[in-house]
Amino acid sequence: MDYKKSFIEFMVDSGVLTFGDFTTKSGRKTPYFINTGNYKTGEQAAKLGQFYARCIEENCKKGHISRNITALFGPAYKGIPLAVAASIALASEFQCNVNYCFNRKEVKDHGEGGNMVGYKLKDGDRVLIIEDVITAGTAVRECFPIIKAEADIKIEGLIISVDRMERGNGNKTAIQEIEEEFGIKTYPIVTVREIIDTLYNVEVNGKVHIDDAVKQQMEAYLQEYCVK
């Protein structure tokens, strides 16, 4: 749990995890928000990569993820720096040299062409998708055909920073829907429940971010939109 607690505090310190009144892309009113676009320094990128690498290593040890990963794929745009940072951290911390690649939003029609950058996927490769936060799972669904079109690869799983535990298009979480639809398991660094348990009535940099009132709002949100 140590790296999970550190990650939650890191998100608060970086202004990525904030509390207040927000509206998600799906139109839901939420008392907390996670914006990974607020990471902006080299130090933050280095730390972020370490947290992703530790999550990957933890799940490798548990046997959830193969150690024979060929490449990390980062969906454009937010997934790009995440995949790069994670591959660097895997190499430096765990001596695991893994390729990385990502897609372009627009297909390049000159030079080498194509819509992929970085490692060129080959038949038989094992790929981990690196993303930030899943709400409805739209971005992840869009990247599956992109990867599959490149080669006959196996997607080993999906690594995300936070599991919001929210319903997708039905009565199950977006993560559960993705698993049922594509047979892909998702491994979050932390869940929203772990965020509440870690920050409730605990000071981070001299401030309590989840007091009784905020906790009550978050619990109400979980009750309305999330799946236990």
Which of the following is catalytic: 105, 110, 207, 228? 110
Which of the following is catalytic: 40, 108, 122, 154? 108
Give catalytic status of residue 64 as yes or no: no
- Give the span between the Cα atoms of 147 and 142, in whole angstroms: 10
Alpha helices by DSSP H, listed for the chain, are 2-13, 42-61, 79-94, 138-150, 174-182, 192-199, 212-225
Give catalytic status of residue 209 as yes or no: no
The torsion of the CA quartet 193, 54, 34, 191, rounded to 10 degrees, works out to: -10
Q: Which residues of 114-127 are buried (b: 16+ CB within 10 A; e: fewer)?
A: ebbbbbebeeebbb
186-191 and 154-163: which strand pairing? parallel
- Give the span between the Cα atoms of 81 and 178, in whole angstroms: 23
Q: Which residues are the active-site residues?
A: 108, 110
